[in-house]
Amino acid sequence: MFRRGVSVARRVVAPRLRGTHVWIQPQPLYTQWIKPRSAIRLTEPARRYTTHSSLYLRTHTDLPPQLSTMDAPYPVPGSDGFVTLSFYSFFSLQSIQTTRSHLQAQWEALGIVGRVYVSNEGINAQLSVPFAKIIDLREWLEHSTVFRGRISRFNWALEHSQAFKALHVRVRPLVAAGVEVGLDVLANEPEYVEPKDWGKELDTPDALVLDMRNTYEYRVGRFDNAVCPDVDTFREELDQVRTMCLTRPRDAPILMYCTGGIRCSVAGAVLRGDGLTNVKTLRGGVIAYGQHVRKTQETQESRFRGKNFTFDKRRGEVVTSEILAKCDQCGSECDTFVNCAHTSCNLLFIQCPGCAEKHKKTCGRELCVERAQLSHEERVKQKLPPQWSHRERVRPELVFRDGVAHNPLDN
């Protein structure tokens, strides 16, 4: 069936139809499927959409069939050929172990890397996919008896690259350990606000704007006036937000956001279950808002400032160039998160280029500076047990004194 889709052609070379064929100059992205100046056979209704400047079509065999569907427009891949994306869906998933091993084996075979959680409540996936395999992934999802119709569209990243080393599919609660919310609760979905309408919502008088991420994510980028509970885990954050909201009138406006939307889908449902009636969340989270900002940069000012932290090698995507945070070691303006180069330490903190040089890309502990110089093999051999508590890991700003991380284990 014909569906109006993406513009695949930069130019229709000879727009005069020859029978059912037309010559086109494809967009650079589609040259792997369409040769320059190739003839494309059009379906009858597609001809009506053919113009000099663009060609909207779904053809018989000339194009991958899914190209014109829900994931358009397709992003431009990173220089390494990868595209980074995420998606999640809540539904009753049986036989999770079998699903886990299928995903692991079959997505790995497509060259996909990333982090995927499956549970009885559905799936949460963050992936880097070779550009040429996106269609295969979409087809895989649509042909799978488990996932068919579950993933309405991909949430594209702002910056594309291979953001993960390997593929890890795990059976785990979708959002955070200790927060196991059943499908009956999740069915109480909050109202989803499209990124283009979010700015208007932020101007609602008396709106409580909640940042449902960790405090370290909030440090490098946030919406103005957003409140991020001062706690260490998502469980505590949820408890505090519930307490906070229940002191207000039941219909008082609540606006929540997070990285890609899933934490708010959960938190929003919990609040609705508490009887709060005016709970709205940003669809697709800051990632989708960032896409919106990119598209409309000239006409509209971003209400999100700084960087959107991401849980992968990139450790964040720039939404606006403002720098909101400070180097944990010297206090200079900086929003670059790094992991201590001593792999057994691995502390995640903000480090400026000057401190990276001074402390040899480490957190400054003597042990770390010494061990960071060892070869990879030596470091693996001398692997240490976990060096930091959960609290220290999510609050790196609290462990630094005079530019050096203080670890109780060092005394």
The residues annotated as belonging to the active site are: 258
User: Does 374 engage in binding with Zn ion (CB under 5 A)?
Assistant: no
CB of 114 to Zn ion, least distance (A): 26
User: How many positions of this chain bind Zn ion (CB under 5 A)?
Assistant: 13
Q: Which is nearer to Zn ion, 180 or 370 (CB)?
A: 370
Q: Which stretch binds Zn ion (CB under 5 A): 46-54, 122-130, 250-258, 354-362?
A: 354-362
Q: Two tokens at 380? A: 């693996």
User: Does 407 engage in binding with Zn ion (CB under 5 A)?
Assistant: no
User: Does 286 engage in binding with Zn ion (CB under 5 A)?
Assistant: no
CB of 397 to Zn ion, least distance (A): 13
Residues 266-285 binding Zn ion (CB under 5 A) are: none
Single residue of 8, 163, 352, 399 touching Zn ion by CB under 5 A? 352
Q: Tell me: cis bond preceding 73? Omega within 30 of 0 counts.
A: yes
What are the CB-based long-range contacts (under 8 Å, 24+) for 396-402? 396/216, 396/328, 396/347, 396/348, 396/349, 396/350, 397/219, 397/328, 397/349, 399/347, 399/363, 400/328, 400/329, 400/349, 400/363, 400/364
Q: Which is nearer to Zn ion, 74 or 216 (CB)?
A: 216
Single residue of 368, 369, 399, 404 touching Zn ion by CB under 5 A? 368
Q: Which is nearer to Zn ion, 185 or 330 (CB)?
A: 330
Single residue of 123, 193, 345, 399 touching Zn ion by CB under 5 A? 345
CB of 148 to Zn ion, least distance (A): 46
> Residue 107 contacts by C-beta under 8 Å, 6 or more apart in sequence?
116, 127, 137, 140, 167, 169
Distance CA 395, CA 217 (A): 11
Residues 302-341 binding Zn ion (CB under 5 A) are: 327, 329-330, 340
CB of 334 to Zn ion, least distance (A): 6
CB of 407 to Zn ion, least distance (A): 8
Q: Two tokens at 86? A: 């995420």
Distance CA 15, CA 101 (A): 49
The residue among 403, 278, 389 whose CA lies nearest residue 332 is: 403
Distance CA 300, CA 293 (A): 7
User: Does 369 engage in binding with Zn ion (CB under 5 A)?
Assistant: no
Q: Which is nearer to Zn ion, 215 or 339 (CB)?
A: 339
Q: Which is nearer to Zn ion, 271 or 368 (CB)?
A: 368
What are the CB-based long-range contacts (under 8 Å, 24+) for 102-107? 103/169, 104/167, 104/169, 106/140, 107/137, 107/140, 107/167, 107/169
The residues that touch Zn ion, with contacts defined as CB under 5 A, are 327, 329-330, 340, 342, 345, 347, 352, 355, 362-363, 365, 368
